[in-house]
């Protein structure tokens, strides 16, 4: 019992204490739990936890039925507990005490409780135990910030459910190709789009996810005209009226050379940007008693200080967080030295906009990136560096992005115990089940994120250079076998998004057969066919073989 509990709990929570003592309720299908809330006055269980716990053998009843209940639960407020953490204690008197600093933390405590209460034969068992956990970062989630076709609202609904289920708490709406968010930022949203936002906000509230609306006016706003700022704030008011209170002002990917009247009024781009940020911040202070504003500077991927960042930092309130993508836009790694340097530059709270597993750079859209969350220093969680959290910028293929996002969530939940290799296996198993784990690990191996790890290692290059046909045969057979297993995975969304890459595997195998035949005309003919197939496997052994041996250049 103790070993089994530790196996279930120790990989998820920082402190787990069990000693073998338990409460056993014999011949029971369910047990009742009397709830008493002291987090706020008149707190009721049904108001703070939406899930029906009967699936976990527990029926929740009012505190007035405490004398007739098997267990009692009291929820206390504890301001010292940060980052949605919790303390859960089950004592020998069948009393459960939960302390949290937020209602989201209470949700996590209840999830821990459902893992503790188990069915054993015909009995229900509740161990005497204590679990304490504080997530490593206060902001944990996703920014929809990629170029290309934005997600559907169905994708976003699924995303919010996914974040809530996996202990993440933030979604930022910032699709580059929502024209009303960027190119046509001055225009109001139509009613049908506002209805979509309403749906997302309702689900975000239910899942306890902070919903951020981000706007990008920097391409053409006239900083010198009060009417322009008014148009911007009117647009934000549209979202405020829906219930949004978390906002982002994005000045990324713009030409920040001042022109015209702006060049006359402001000495630098940083001065103009600081002026606009202050106008937006002042507006939000007037419109909302409680709000959040985050900012993405135009220089968001520096590995060092700059005049722009120095001036912007001086002009913007130190309470407003800035985004940073790491030492490059698509950072291969973020080291302790990197964060030490940039924390000293920013001198304020920082949110890492992590561009993984996004595939919108150059021709990355032809590929899918199925790698773990890797090469990020655990020291990002050191309070000295003021990193409030990390948001992943995923691929347009949301279903396939879940792998890296889920794995990142484990890093953010408890950076101290995060093991890249073991956590990756746990992620794959959690998302597709034991039956498909090995196949998906194999398929992912052939589709690495080229920005976080080397695509063709020396091992692959040596095998290809030596014309080891047997090696390529076996590798392609492994890949094909994995694809055939994954085709049976009962997940419509996954199958729809991955299908073009499954098809590409067959085309690569056909090309390899032509390569082995040695017929140059057939090789060229097969390559020409593939030019019309805009999907490719990351580790494309036939294509790399052709390149290394100059087969297309031979007569």
Q: Which tokens hold the place of 484?
A: 């055939």
Q: Which of 322, 376, 383 is nearest to 354 (CA)?
A: 376
Q: Name beta bridge partners: 334.
A: 376
Report how far apart, in Å, the C-alpha atoms of 302 and of each of 218, 255, 298, 334, 341 are: 19, 16, 10, 12, 10
Q: Token digits for 227?
A: 């009417």
C-alpha distances in Å from residue 351, one per residue of 142, 155, 218, 392: 11, 24, 20, 11
- Catalytic residue chosen out of the listed positions 253, 360, 382, 468: 253
Q: Tell me which DSSP letter residue 442 carries.
A: H
Cα gap 402→282, rounded to integer Å: 37
Q: How far apart are CA 265 and CA 226, in angstroms?
A: 13
**71-77 vs 86-90, strand pairing mode:** unpaired
Nearest to 405 by CA among 241, 213, 165, 183: 165
Residue 342, both tokens: 């940039």
The closest of 380, 439, 458, 371 to 137, measured between CA atoms, is 380
Rg, C-alpha atoms of the chain: 27
Task: Report the candidate in 162, 279, 163, 156 with the shortest Cα–Cα distance to residue 215.
Answer: 279
63 catalytic residue (yes or no): no
* 58-62 vs 31-37, strand pairing mode: parallel
Classify residue 227 as exposed, middle or buried by CB count within 10 Å of its CB (0-12, 13-18, 19+).
Answer: exposed
Name the residue with tokens 């085309």. Answer: 507
The DSSP annotation for 397-409 comes to -HHHHHHHHHHHH
Closest C-alpha to 284, from 323, 227, 240, 314: 240
Instruction: Say if residues 142 and 171 touch (Cβ distance below 8 Å).
Output: yes
Angle at 206 between CA 204 and CA 133, to 5 degrees: 90
DSSP letters spanning 404-469 = HHHHHHHHHH-GGG--HHHHHHHHHHHHH-HHHHHHHHHHHHTS--TTTS-SS-HHHHHHHHTT-H
SS3 149: coil
Token code pair at residue 389 = 């959290």
DSSP 292: E
Q: Would you name the residues annotated as active-site residues?
A: 253
């Amino acid at each position: 019992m103790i070993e089994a509990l530790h196996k279930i709990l120790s990989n998820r929570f920082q402190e787990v204490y069990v000693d073998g003592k338990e409460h056993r309720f014999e011949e029971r299908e369910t047990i009742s739990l009397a709830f008493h809330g002291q987090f706020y006055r008149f707190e009721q269980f049904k108001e703070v936890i939406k899930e029906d716990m009967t699936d976990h053998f527990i029926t929740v009843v009012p505190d007035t039925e405490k004398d007739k209940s098997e267990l009692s639960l009291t929820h206390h407020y504890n301001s010292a507990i940060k980052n949605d953490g919790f303390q859960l204690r089950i004592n020998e008197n069948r009393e459960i005490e939960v302390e949290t600093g937020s209602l989201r933390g209470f949700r996590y405590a209840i999830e821990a409780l459902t893992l503790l209460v188990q069915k054993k034969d015909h009995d229900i068992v509740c161990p005497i135990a204590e679990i304490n956990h504080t997530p490593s970062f206060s902001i944990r989630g996703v920014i929809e910030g990629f170029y290309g076709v934005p997600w559907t609202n169905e994708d976003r609904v699924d995303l919010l459910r996914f974040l809530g289920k996996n202990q993440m708490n933030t979604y930022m709406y910032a699709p580059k190709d929502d024209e009303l968010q960027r190119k046509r930022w001055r225009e109001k949203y139509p009613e049908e789009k506002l209805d979509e936002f309403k749906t997302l906000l309702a689900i975000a509230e239910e899942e306890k996810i902070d919903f951020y609306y981000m706007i990008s006016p920097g391409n053409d706003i006239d900083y010198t005209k009060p009417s322009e700022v008014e148009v911007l704030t009117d647009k934000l008011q549209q979202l405020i009226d829906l219930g949004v209170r978390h906002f982002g002002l994005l000045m990324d990917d713009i030409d920040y050379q001042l022109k015209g009247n702006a060049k006359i009024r402001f000495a630098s781009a940083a001065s103009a940007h600081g002026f606009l940020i202050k106008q937006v911040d002042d507006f939000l202070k007037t419109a909302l008693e409680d709000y959040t504003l985050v900012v993405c500077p135009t220089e968001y991927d520096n590995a060092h200080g700059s005049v722009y960042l120095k001036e912007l930092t001086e002009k913007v309130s130190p309470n407003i967080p800035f985004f940073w993508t790491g030492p490059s836009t698509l950072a291969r790694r973020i080291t302790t030295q990197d964060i030490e340097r940039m924390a000293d530059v920013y001198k304020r709270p920082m949110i890492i906009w992590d561009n993984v597993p996004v595939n919108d750079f150059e021709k990355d859209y032809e590929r899918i990136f199925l790698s773990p969350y890797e090469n990020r220093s655990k020291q990002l969680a050191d309070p000295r560096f003021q990193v409030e959290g990390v948001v992943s910028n995923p691929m347009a293929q949301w279903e396939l992005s879940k792998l890296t996002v889920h794995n990142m969530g484990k890093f953010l939940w408890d950076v101290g115990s995060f093991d890249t290799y073991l956590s990756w296996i746990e992620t794959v198993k959690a998302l597709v089940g034991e039956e498909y784990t090995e196949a998906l690990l194999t398929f992912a191996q052939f589709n690495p994120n080229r920005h976080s790890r080397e695509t063709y290692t020396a091992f692959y290059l040596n095998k290809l250079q030596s014309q080891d046909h047997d090696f390529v045969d076996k590798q392609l057979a492994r890949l094909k076998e994995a694809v055939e297993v994954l085709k049976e995975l009962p997940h419509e969304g996954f199958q729809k998004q991955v299908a073009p890459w499954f098809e590409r595997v067959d085309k690569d195998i056909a090309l390899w057969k032509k390569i082995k035949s040695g017929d140059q005309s057939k090789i060229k003919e097969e390559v020409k066919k593939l030019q019309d197939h805009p999907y490719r496997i990351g580790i494309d052994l036939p294509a790399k073989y052709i390149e290394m041996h100059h087969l297309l250049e031979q007569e």
